[in-house]
Each structure stands twice: as structure tokens, then as C-alpha cells.
Amino acid sequence: MMTIAPGDSLPDVALTRPDGSPVRPADFAGQKLVLFFYPKDDTPGCTTENLDFSALSADFAKAGTALLGISKDPPKKHEKFIAKHGLTAPLASDPEEGGLSDALGFWTEKSMYGRSYMGMVRSTVLVGADGKVAQVWSPVKVKGHAAEVLEAAKAL
């Protein structure tokens, strides 16, 4: 399992947009990119995080920074999540196995009530226009996080 650090390049793993089309980190070459990884659509913390990034999406665009929210949820579930909450930050589905979150070490074994399961560690990666990782937040606390990432993107 790889863990990502500033100065690293992202693996160019294909993700799937809600409409079924592919998207890769390389598609954003030459611009800054924020990848925010979250556990599950339509849960309280994940909804708040997506709403916060969506509320700031115009500010990220002004800062020359693309956004992409990523979870293991299937594309159709993302479509419903976007429609239900009016999200403007683009979302993508990570493959069940061998996806980008696996490669970065964000998809990992967790434990709750004595039961082990695989789950997403809420994490964010800021990539510079040069394609190199500028900053990594993991694990993430949702409150104020999108604004903090925006300030880091502006400073980059």
C-alpha cells in the first residue's frame, strides 16, 4: 500500500463520472486539482463536506483549481446524491478494488463494534499545476476543511 506525500506524483488511475465516462488525474494536467476522498454518499458528514466544497466551487475555479470528490459509491448513486443536494463539485466513483484510494492508502481496514471492514479514510490531496502533490490532509475533520483547502490552493 502506497501513502502519498508532498512532492509525489499521483498514480493515473481511471475513475468513473456519474454519467459513466472516465476521468483520470492526468485529465487535469496544467491546472491545480483538489481530490477529496469521502466514505459514502448521503451520510451526514459526507453531505456536509460535499456541500462545503460545492459552496466554494466558484472560488476554487477563480483560484485555477479543479475539484473532484471521490468515493467507492457507484455512478448512479452519485447522480442521485448530486440531484438531491444540488452539488456543484464534480464527483467520481473509485473502482471497487485497485482504485486510486487503494493506491494512496485511503481505502483501509477499519473497525467498529469489534467488526473489521474496509472503508475510506476521509482525506484530501492538493495537486499543483506541475502535477506534484502539494499538500495532503488525512484524516480530515469536515468543519472548516473546504475553506482551509481553498486557502492552500490560493497560496500555491
Q: According to the 3-state scheme, what is the secondary structure of the chain?
A: CCCCCCCCECCCCCEECCCCCEECHHHHCCCEEEEEECCCCCCHHHHHHHHHHHHCHHHHHHCCEEEEEEECCCHHHHHHHHHHHCCCCCEEECCCCCCHHHHHCCEEEEEECCEEEEEECCEEEEECCCCEEEEEECCCCCCCHHHHHHHHHHHC
Residue of 46, 66, 149, 153 with catalytic role? 46
Task: Decide if 4 is catalytic.
Answer: no
Cβ–Cβ under 8 Å, residues 57 and 17: no
Which active-site residues does the annotation give? 46
